[in-house]
Each structure stands twice: as structure tokens, then as C-alpha cells.
Amino acid sequence: MVLETVKHYPVLLSEIISIITPQHGGTFIDCTFGQGGYTNEILKYKDTKVIAFDRDIESKKKADQISNKFQERFIFKNKRFSQLDQLKIKNENIRGVIFDLGYSYTQIKDPSKGLSFNYSGDLNMRMGLNEFSAKEAIHKLDSRELEKIFKFFGEEKDAKKIASRISKIRKNKVLDNEDLVKLIDSIKKRNNFKIHNSTKIFQALRIFVNKEISELIYGLIAATKVLKKDGILAVVTFHSLEDKIVKYFFKSLSEEKSISRYLPKLEQPETLFNIKNKKPIIPSVQELKKNIPSRSAKLRYVIKKKNFYEFETDILSKFQDLIKIEDYGNKL
């Protein structure tokens, strides 16, 4: 099937470039390569290098095009961004790490991925390097487990009703995208708001299938390790759960309780990060006009204050209840 050709707009691009200042050179890590929007812009500056990650193998097509143009300055890894600290890059001058946690138009409109409730087909939602699909989750997890996924990952108020209905209907038929949408519509009242009835359930399943909570947490930890002094860690989120995790991580490591246990006492920094803007940066009116999906984007960034690798953080314990829900996938 040929996908619709639509221009991809990297969200908050000018703001990102202004923050990471690639004109001064250095190595940058694009943790969510996608269509290469950030990478392309960074590589326009001659003294830069980009190491890009994407778990979606389809992104390699775009990466190969960039690699042909910038052979000496671009590396692509078909890996999860939580693995970035496994690369031997301690000696690289990592000046910036960027996360764009949204999905590209190409990915959303690809019916084989099953990310959109506007397409019929299998409940997939795998973005690559996955262990199970949404179809397996829907048909094999018990009603209580599905309820928790919908409630905590999708913030769906009708989570219990929807999970219960799924549990009953799946006894007699295999549910696909279209079936799930109809089931949700039969429970939720029609609304006059912009949000579709199925948005929260599909979001919850996508987060669960791709283990987006633990991926984000481990990705933030890994990014902090590899950054050099004065390096920038910038994250663009698209829903409240992501933003809550990023906000907590940045805030907790910008307070005095955050110290490296591997540094001598006299050399311990008072804090690991410096936060310039406490409030998130949001898209401009001009950007919203040309790229409507950017309306929910929030950009937060911090500056690393010292050269160090290991550090302490309580973020895993802070969000352990969400990680436990992700662990339901271990039985699939």
C-alpha cells in the first residue's frame, strides 16, 4: 500500500536549534530520528556530527539518504534509545541529546502499524524491537490488567467498562482495530470535543506495547550519563504522562539532594542540572498554523553542570507503579 505523501514538520525545530547551538560544533544524539528533521538541520553546520537512534527499521530508508550525503558525520543505529549509553561514546564531545516523543505522520498513517483508529486491520502498534503486539495484549491479558493499562497509560475514565466489554466479546471473536473502535463508541457518549473516543485507549495500548514508560526513564538516565559539561538534554513530549516523567526527572536532579556517589566529596556538584526555563516551551502560532499535530507539544530542557558519568536518581522508584503495569507484558 502506498502511503499518503505529506510533508513532515519536525516539532519546535527552531527552538531546539536555538537551545543546542550546533553552530559551535560538537556531537549531538538524535534519540528519535524518525524522518530526520532535527538531524538534517544540525548537520547543516559543518563542525557537527549526529548519532541517531530509532527502533523503527523503516527509518533506515531516510537515514541511508542522509548517510550518503554526510558519510563522515552521521551514524544511524536501529536501537532503542534506552541503549544509547551502551555505545562507546564516552570520549565523544556530546553537546546535546534530543528526544521527540511524538510519532511521524508516516508512522501514524501506516496501516500495518495500527497506530491510528482511522484504519481497519490488526491491532499491532509495534514500533520495532518489540516482544508482543496490541492484539496479543487485548486477547491475553485479564480484564483487571487491561483496566489498569487504560486507566494509567490513557487516563481513560471508562477504563473498567471498556476492559470488561473486551473480555466478554473476545470469547467469540478476534478483535481488530475497527472492532475496538466500535466497542469503545458503544460505551462512551458521543462528544463534541476534538478528541476522538478511541484516542486514550489507543494511546494506552501504544505505550504498553512499546514499553514507553521504562524506555523514557532509562533513556533519560542514559542521556544524562553521556552528556558532557554544559551539554543540553532536550525533550519534546506530547501527553501529560510523558511530561510528568520528564518534569520530575529534571526537577529532582536540579535540587541539592542530587549528588554523584562516584565523586570525592569536595568535587560533588550541588546539583546535576541547571534549569533555565521552569515552564515548558510550546509551539508558536505560526507553527500551529502549518502543523496542527504540534498543538500538544511541550519542550523542556536542562544543562548538565559537571563532567560525570554515574549518578543517583529516584525516578525508577517514583514511577514504579507504572513500570509494574508495563511488566504485564512479560506473560505475553
Q: Which three cell numbers stand for residue 272?
A: 546535576
Q: What is the pLDDT of residue 112?
A: 65
| 30-87-273-242 Cα dihedral, nearest 10 degrees | 50
Least confident of 101-105, 245-249, 293-297: 101-105
> How far apart (Å, rounded) are the C-alpha atoms in residues 139 and 255?
44
74-83, 194-203, 209-218, 231-240, range with the lowest pLDDT: 194-203
Q: Can you list the domains of the chain with their CATH numbers?
A: 13-106+212-313 (3.40.50.150), 131-209 (1.10.150.170)
pLDDT tens digits, one per residue of 270-319: 789 999 999 999 999 999 998 888 899 999 999 999 888 888 899 999 99
Question: Using CA atoms, how far apart are residues 23 and 45, in angstroms rounded to an integer?
Answer: 6
| Percent of all residues in the chain with a pLDDT value above 70, rounded to a whole number | 88
What's residue 120's pLDDT?
78
Q: Are 233 and 227 in contact (CB under 8 A)?
A: yes
Q: 56 and 113 in contact (C-beta within 8 Å)?
A: no
Residue count of the chain, please give it.
332
Residue 270 DSSP SS3? coil
- Res. 257 pLDDT band, cuts 50 70 90: low
Measured at the alpha carbon of residue 305, what is the angle toward residues 303 and 306, in degrees to the nearest 5?
135
pLDDT (tens digit per residue) in 59-98: 999 999 999 999 999 999 999 999 998 887 767 899 999 9
Mean pLDDT confidence for 228-255: 96
- Rounded to whole angstroms, how far apart are CA atoms 147 and 158? 9
Structure-block grid coordinates of residue 127: 514500533
Q: 44: alpha, beta or left, given left = phi > 0 and alpha = psi -120 to 50?
A: alpha
